[in-house]
Structure 1
Amino acid sequence: MKEEILNKINQYERIIIHRHVRPDPDALGSQGGLAAIIKASFPEKEVYAVGEEDDSLIFLNKMDTVEDEMYRGSLVIICDTANSPRVSDTRYTLGETVIKIDHHPNEDPYGDLVWVDTAASSTSEMIMDFYLFGADKGLELNSNSARLLYAGIIGDTGRFLYSNTTEKTHRYAAMLIETGFAPSEIHENLYKISEKLVRLNGYVLQHFSIVDECVGYIHLTEETLQKYDASASEASLLVNSFSHVEGLLAWVFFVDEPDQIRVRLRSKGPVVNKIAAKFNGGGHPRASGATVYTNEETQSVLSELRKACIEYKTK
């Protein structure tokens, strides 16, 4: 599959790279890292990265402006996006050929070429795999692409703390650092936190609830977000605030947005991506996102999560 993808990249003069909505470091890292590798390797090609931007992550990579007609005859690559409805910028369908590169379970195999590796810690790790495959075939890795891939890897491994971290993950991180960027800059920017979020985190720690002695949850309303002057994206960063509470198996953050409710599901064992799939979402077995529109639906999500945890405890 890596050879087929490289052949497609060689074939096209214009390449437009997408990723999922509400980008996280791996989405931006894999998208931007791949774009930077292609630009360095094929300076004559037009390479663009598109999608909405997140103010807290704009230090990683800024998006390009692409007109509709530029998709005609172009290669489109979509990184780190399990389900087609979650692709940021639906114009990806205007491309001539679409490639999916992802490490989530392949429940929606959209695209003309699909490369999915659920054993990878991150899609950024997969892009490093792709670079190493093509290193003797013209692919080049510079410090800019390396810093982006490193950001994606530490983002999806929780700074190498999550169980998806492997020996290969550490080996790739070391290889990326050898290109000369400063890892401290990535860590400082990814994990800095504003005073308002510290105070909102205090609110979360005081007001989260636990049911069935194993499921944690909190609903951050629009009123609460306004009180702390925090956006839904900023509030979602606090999803692991109470994750270390003894006995907790899974937890969910509900965060109000103007026209919907953002859902963040996390787990220490119970499978949550199947729950997310029922509510306009998806993701990993232990870390997923979804979208609901009413308080009644939040209760349905919580009910599904409680059921999953109870079943997990009785296995």
Structure 2
Amino acid sequence: MLDLGKECQGALSIGITGHTNPDGDCIGTTLALWQFLKKLKPECRIDVILEKPAPEYDFIQGIDQIITDDTKPFTYDVMIVVDSVPERCGHANTYVLRAKKLINIDHHISNPGCGDAYYVDPKASSAAEVLYDLIASKQEYLDLIDKELAQTIYVGIIHDSGVMQYSNTSPKTLRIVADLISYGFDFPKLIEETFYERTYIQSQITGRAVLEAFPMLNGKCMVSMVDRKTMDFYGAEKKDLSGIVNELRNIKGVEVAIFIYEVGTQEYKISMRSRSYIDVAKVAVFFGGGGHVRAAGCNMNGNFYDIVNNLMEQIVLQMEALHIETGCIDV
């Protein structure tokens, strides 16, 4: 197992980053690692470089210290990429490429492990769970966990496990969560404010996406798309789109939910979720993306309808291999 103290030994500067459009797990893990390393290596400069998180995470210690641009390039002794491969770090790639040493911590099955040192556990519910394991590997590290750090790790775990309802939740995950909440933070309030609450704009854009969704493959696949014009109409930003794909998956009878939103001219971001038997990570990897068996994503270019058809082809291949009726007619 990766020894964080040993891997950062001698470093005077450490940068931490994650993927673009950071979700709760990415935000929780990067900031939890920042909090931990500030205690472990107080003599170090330690920074988090990340896209600006959604405001519901403003309560997390250190969020006001996040570097959200690359206008002041700096060469870190160690750069740690969490919840992602280095290539998906957006503007933080400037720092990743300049770093003297690269460490990768992740839980995505599509990540083969990158950098000079890495630890990837595909069985973990979240990158935050992986980080907890690394901290718990030594008693001297475990002793550094306090209420704030426990709360921040917890944020990461609940967001990638769907508040412990997704299939990536294991008995081990629940034991870790039990240990974390013993530190005394208000976990019901945290779940409500970061996972369930929606702004009026988020509710509007979600309603529009569900209203305009259409079924495919005998209703086993539900697809919806939000274009730039619709986002501008509601005053929505990409952070307001989180959760839409889960709403599509919650529709009865749906095995695969696909939510697509426009990021540029004929450029789209694809988010996919599955319920029980389709491996959406395989679909995402085929198109240059990645993720988990039940939650994955990618970016695609081209005509919207061609993109949907290309995605369907990959899903149909899996369904046919499982002898599941697709409703497609062979020509």
- Could you tell me the TM-score, scaled by structure 1's length? 0.91
Contact 2:27 2:53 in 1 (8 A): no
The aligned residue for residue 31 of structure 1 is 30
- 1:129 pairs, out of 133, 136, 141, with 133
Structure 2 Cα separation of the partners of residues 53 and 313 of structure 1: 44
Aligned residues: 312
Kindly tell me: are residues 43 and 160 of structure 1, through their superposed partners in 2, closer, same or farther at Cα, counting changes over 3 Å? same
Deviation, 1:275, is 1.5
- In the TM superposition, what whole-angstrom CA distance separates every residue of 1:124-166 from its partner, at most 9, and x where no partner exists? 0111111111233586112222111100000000001111112
The aligned residue for residue 291 of structure 2 is 283
The aligned residue for residue 300 of structure 1 is 310
Residue 238 of structure 2 corresponds to residue 232 of structure 1: yes
Structure 1 Cα separation of the partners of residues 100 and 188 of structure 2: 40
Contact 2:249 2:257 in 1 (8 A): yes
- Which secondary structure does the structure 1 equivalent of 2:42 belong to? coil
- Which secondary structure does the structure 2 equivalent of 1:49 belong to? strand
Kindly tell me: are residues 23 and 69 of structure 1, through their superposed partners in 2, closer, same or farther at Cα, counting changes over 3 Å? closer
Structure 1 Cα separation of the partners of residues 251 and 142 of structure 2: 49
Contact 2:110 2:290 in 1 (8 A): no
Residue 217 of structure 2 corresponds to residue 207 of structure 1: no
The aligned residue for residue 164 of structure 2 is 160
Structure 2 Cα separation of the partners of residues 165 and 200 of structure 1: 29
Contact 1:292 1:298 in 2 (8 A): no
The aligned residue for residue 67 of structure 2 is 64
Kindly tell me: are residues 258 and 118 of structure 1, through their superposed partners in 2, closer, same or farther at Cα, counting changes over 3 Å? same
Contact 1:101 1:114 in 2 (8 A): yes
- Which secondary structure does the structure 2 equivalent of 1:16 belong to? strand
Contact 1:29 1:150 in 2 (8 A): yes
- 2:225 pairs, out of 211, 219, 226, with 219
- In the TM superposition, what whole-angstrom CA distance separates every residue of 1:201-233 from its partner, at most 9, and x where no partner exists? 322332211111211111112222223322233
Residue 16 of structure 2 corresponds to residue 17 of structure 1: yes
Q: Larger deviation: 301-310 or 206-215?
A: 301-310
Structure 1 Cα separation of the partners of residues 202 and 189 of structure 2: 20
Structure 1 Cα separation of the partners of residues 121 and 150 of structure 2: 20
Residue 272 of structure 2 corresponds to residue 265 of structure 1: yes
Contact 1:29 1:151 in 2 (8 A): yes
Q: Which structure exhibits the higher relative contact order, with contacts defined as CA atoms closer than 8 Å and separated by 6 or more residues?
A: 1
One-letter code of the match for 1:170?
L
- 1:241 pairs, out of 232, 239, 247, with 247
Percent of residue pairs bearing the same amino acid type:
24
Kindly tell me: are residues 194 and 107 of structure 1, through their superposed partners in 2, closer, same or farther at Cα, counting changes over 3 Å? closer
- Which secondary structure does the structure 1 equivalent of 2:103 belong to? strand
Q: Larger deviation: 153-162 or 37-46?
A: 37-46
Q: Larger deviation: 32-41 or 300-309?
A: 300-309
Residue 155 of structure 2 corresponds to residue 151 of structure 1: yes
One-letter code of the match for 2:307?
E
- Which secondary structure does the structure 1 equivalent of 2:14 belong to? strand
Deviation, 1:69, is 5.6
The aligned residue for residue 193 of structure 2 is 189
Kindly tell me: are residues 194 and 118 of structure 1, through their superposed partners in 2, closer, same or farther at Cα, counting changes over 3 Å? same
Contact 2:278 2:294 in 1 (8 A): yes
Deviation, 1:108, is 4.1
Contact 1:236 1:253 in 2 (8 A): no
Q: Larger deviation: 270-279 or 58-67?
A: 58-67
- Which secondary structure does the structure 2 equivalent of 1:264 belong to? strand
Give runs of ≥4 in structure 1 deviating > 6 Å. Answer: none
- In the TM superposition, what whole-angstrom CA distance separates every residue of 1:143-192 from its partner, at most 9, and x where no partner exists? 22211110000000000111111222122112212223221342232121
Deviation, 1:13, is 2.0
- Could you tell me the TM-score, scaled by structure 2's length? 0.86
- Gapped runs of 5+ residues in structure 2? 326-331
